[in-house]
């Protein structure tokens, strides 16, 4: 997001929590012009101070405890950060406000996890929510409170109901990167197998670089609103594995993949598939990177990274 905004000529500030956040340097290295500001989604006064210091025109709240599996083990922390963090951000905007002629605009990262046990396929902005994890429940709160503040205080607050969006920068704990990184290590002879949970789950996977453009477009509209951001294509984890192993020119992925119930969740979201017709019609947005290109991009990036690391270790 910050890279996209910097490319558009924005001065970008990133909120960083904790006294010595290990990710701060990593983010700074990726985008040297990014300016880091202290603040925490769990501390309203710190958000107010950050807004007073920066006086932003636009806020993109992509902050959350975003790993669904962990939300079952740390539900209260998830509710506090992923759910109440949105309320605190909205309150900070309401209090600091920007100027009357130039009010602060807000983007809230809502999630397709809100659909959970889906009531209809494909999912649209009108599909009822049925979250299946503490993370999904917290996101429903964040989404609903954003709508409520928009209606109550005429805030320019929009929500993007984003389906899974991936890239080489995805954390290693998420299934796509776990697969592409494990596969790269298998290819280089550094690892024998990949251990996963439920292989039957299906997701609508898009490229994060495409999705940030949709987030920005929402904020540029005269009227704030909610939009589903998705590719409209759904694939199982088995299909992801099949394609990734073909990219690596390794036959028979089944011999390299183990399953372990440790990676299964107490309640699963079986299949997600979004309909982004509203974003297409009103924002003129459509995804550019295909599923095949995404899988290849992630595998090739992991292969290059792991090969460079192995070279250094020699
Ligand atoms: O990659 P995942 O952990 O992503 P998940 O749960 O779909 O959530 C991601 O997308 C959401 C948008 O829909 C975001 F809101 C959220 O923050 C996050 O970015 O898991 C995808 C699927 C699940 O069904 C999971 O059970 O893969 C299945 N899976 C199977 N084996 C696994 C594994 N997931 C992980 N992380 N690790 C496994 O070993």
Structure tokens at 144: 């609903």
Residue 268 CA to ligand 1 center (angstroms) comes to 9
Neighbours of 13 (CB within 10 A): 19
The answer to whether residue 24 sits within a structural domain is no
Q: Is residue 166 one of the residues assigned to a domain? A: yes
What domain range is 137 assigned to? 39-171+205-234+271-289
Q: What is the DSSP string of 215-268?
A: HHHHHHSSS--EEEE--S--EEHHHHHHHHHHHTT-S-GGGGEEE-GGGS-SS-
- Whether 151 maps to a domain, the answer reads yes
241 CA to middle of ligand 1, Å?
Answer: 14
User: pTM for the whole thing?
Assistant: 0.97
Q: What is the mean pLDDT of the chain?
A: 97
Ligand 1 closest atom vs CA 67 = 17
| Residues whose beta carbon lies within 6 Å of some atom of ligand 1 | 66, 68-69, 111-113, 163-164, 173-176, 178, 196-198, 201, 203, 237, 263, 265, 268-269
User: Ligand 1 centre from 284 Cα, in Å?
Assistant: 28
Q: Does residue 136 surpass a pLDDT of 80?
A: yes
Tell me which of 100 and 24 has the higher pLDDT: 24
Alpha-carbon distance of 243 to 292, in angstroms, equals 7
Q: Which residues are catalytic?
A: 111, 113, 135
Q: b/e map of 48-65 (b: 16 or more CB within 10 Å)? A: bbbbeebebebbbbebbb
- Work out which ligand 1 atom sits closest to the CA atom of 269: 24
Residue 27 lies in a domain: no
Residue identifier of the C-alpha nearest atom 31 of ligand 1: 197
Q: Is residue 229 part of a domain?
A: yes
Number of domains in the chain: 1
pLDDT tens across 99-129, in order? 777 899 999 999 999 999 999 999 999 999 9
- Asked, as a colleague might, if the bond just before 122 is cis with ω within 30 of 0, I would say yes
What is the reported pLDDT for 95?
95
How far lies 190's CA from each of 44, 184, 225, 251, 254, in Å?
46, 9, 48, 18, 18
Q: How far apart are CA 208 and CA 213, in angstroms?
A: 9
- Closest ligand 1 atom to 111 CA: 15
pLDDT digits (tens, 9 = 90+) for 174-199: 999 999 999 999 999 999 999 999 99
255 occurs within a structural domain: no
pLDDT in tens, 202-212: 999 999 999 99
Task: Please tell me the predicted confidence (pLDDT) of residue 111.
Answer: 98
Domain presence at residue 305: no
Residue 6 lies in a domain: no
Report the CATH number at residue 55: 3.40.50.720
């Amino acid at each position: 997001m910050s890279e996209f905004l910097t490319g558009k000529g924005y001065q970008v500030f990133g909120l960083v929590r904790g006294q010595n956040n290990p990710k701060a340097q990593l983010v700074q290295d990726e985008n040297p012009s990014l300016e880091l500001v202290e603040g925490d989604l769990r501390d309203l006064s710190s958000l107010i101070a950050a807004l007073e210091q920066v006086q932003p025109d636009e806020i993109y709240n992509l902050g959350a405890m975003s790993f669904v599996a962990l939300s079952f083990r740390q539900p209260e922390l998830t509710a506090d950060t992923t759910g109440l963090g949105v309320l605190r951000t909205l309150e900070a905007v309401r209090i600091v406000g920007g100027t009357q002629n130039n009010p602060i605009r807000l983007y809230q990262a809502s999630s397709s996890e809100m659909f959970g046990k889906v009531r209809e396929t494909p999912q649209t902005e009108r599909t009822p929510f049925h979250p299946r994890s503490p993370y999904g429940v917290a996101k429903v709160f964040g989404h609903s409170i954003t709508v409520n503040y928009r209606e109550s205080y005429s805030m320019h607050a929009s929500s993007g109901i984003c389906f899974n969006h991936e890239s080489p920068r995805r954390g290693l704990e998420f299934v796509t990167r776990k697969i592409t990184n494990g596969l790269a290590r298998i290819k280089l002879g550094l690892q024998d197998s990949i251990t996963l949970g439920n292989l039957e789950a299906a997701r609508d996977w898009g490229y994060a670089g495409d999705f940030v453009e949709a987030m920005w477009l929402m904020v540029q509209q005269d009227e704030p609103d909610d939009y589903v951001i998705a590719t409209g294509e759904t694939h199982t984890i088995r299909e992801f594995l099949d394609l990734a192993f073909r990219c690596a020119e390794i036959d028979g992925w089944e011999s390299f993949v183990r399953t372990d119930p440790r990676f299964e969740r107490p309640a699963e979201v079986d299949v997600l598939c979004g309909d982004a017709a509203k974003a297409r019609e009103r924002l003129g947005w459509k995804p550019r990177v295909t599923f095949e290109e995404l899988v290849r991009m992630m595998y090739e990036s992991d292969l290059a990274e792991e090969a460079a690391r192995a070279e250094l270790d020699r």
